[in-house]
Amino acid sequence: MTQQPIIEVRGVTKVYQVGVEIVHALRGVDLTVHAGEMVAIMGSSGSGKSTLMNTLGCLDRPTAGTYHLSGREVSGLDAAELSQIRNEQIGFVFQSFELLPRLTALENVELPLLYARGKGWGWARERRKLAEEALQRVGLGQRMDHRPNQLSGGQKQRVAIARALIAKPRILMADEPTGNLDTVTTEEILKLFEQIHQDGQTVLMVTHENDVAAHCQRVVRLRDGLVLSDLPAEQDPAVGPLVPAIRSAA
């Protein structure tokens, strides 16, 4: 691809210090994601998936390394600048939904637009319309005025996805979005992600389940804070259908 990548990460490390103990969550990750891709990030628990996602999502800064988002170096930006980037370029879906309990579904979806810059009084109405559209898109047109405690887990995650999409981000990131859902609902949510991807949305998803990753075209595997493999899904040893062939070739 000649196009400029959305995400270009080189040698990213993340070191946590807990008391006297030093944890190397990321030890030098390289990763490039282009527009239109749907990438699964996999790995065992503690391999650094969430840390990488938080870094890519500009929620956290790397200890070292470079991170170009849409061509702009973002690893040295301050909290306010990172907020603006999250607001405008990134949609984040969390495992635990993270809906605000006192707000309706519609208001939850609207939330990112509250922090959009340079808007006037008319924005309030415009915003509402966008939120309604987003909710319709995730199939919750009938639940707009429900509060989170009146929604099922799958519905909550749909609201969260609508919220992540409302600002038309360049990239949609989801950290184990189906981790709190049963298998049937998981399938529905993954179908929704696929649908969104087919509409042209770049998607980055953390999972540790192979059948979830099977919905993606590309699988990045982490181990101990390093990229173990980065392959098209059909070539991934655990995900793709050609598993034995790859294994024997390796």
**Residue 116 Cβ vs another protein, minimum distance, rounded to whole Å:** 8
Residue 148 identity (one-letter amino acid): P
Give residue 35's Cα distance to chain centre: 14
- Count of positions (residues) in the chain: 250
| Cα angle 90, 61, 10; round to 5 | 85
Asked if 167 and 91 count as a contact pair (C-beta separation under 8 A), the reply is yes
Choose among another protein, ligand ADP, Mg ion, none what residue 124 binds, the Cβ cut-off being 5 to 8 Å by kind: another protein
**Residue 12 Cβ vs ligand ADP, minimum distance, rounded to whole Å:** 12
CA–CA gap between residue 237 and residue 250 (Å, rounded):
10
DSSP 3-state assignment of 5? coil
Among 47, 50, 89, 178, binds Mg ion (CB under 5 A): 50
Stretch binding another protein (CB under 8 A), from 85-93, 137-145, 195-203, 214-222: 85-93
CA–CA gap between residue 234 and residue 250 (Å, rounded):
15
Question: Does 243 participate in binding another protein (rule CB under 8 A)?
Answer: no
Cβ proximity to another protein: between 10 and 102 the closer is 102
Stretch binding another protein (CB under 8 A), from 36-44, 78-86, 133-141, 208-216: 78-86
What is residue 240's DSSP assignment?
S
Among 10, 119, 168, 191, binds another protein (CB under 8 A): 119
What is residue 4's DSSP assignment?
P
- Is beta strand 64-69 parallel, antiparallel or unpaired with respect to 7-18? antiparallel
**Residue 101 Cβ vs another protein, minimum distance, rounded to whole Å:** 9
DSSP 3-state assignment of 181? coil
**Residue 75 Cβ vs another protein, minimum distance, rounded to whole Å:** 15
Question: Does 145 participate in binding another protein (rule CB under 8 A)?
Answer: no
Binding site for another protein (CB under 8 A): 54, 57, 59-60, 79-80, 83-84, 86-88, 92, 94, 98, 100, 102, 111-112, 114-121, 123-124, 163, 167
Binding site for Mg ion (CB under 5 A): 50
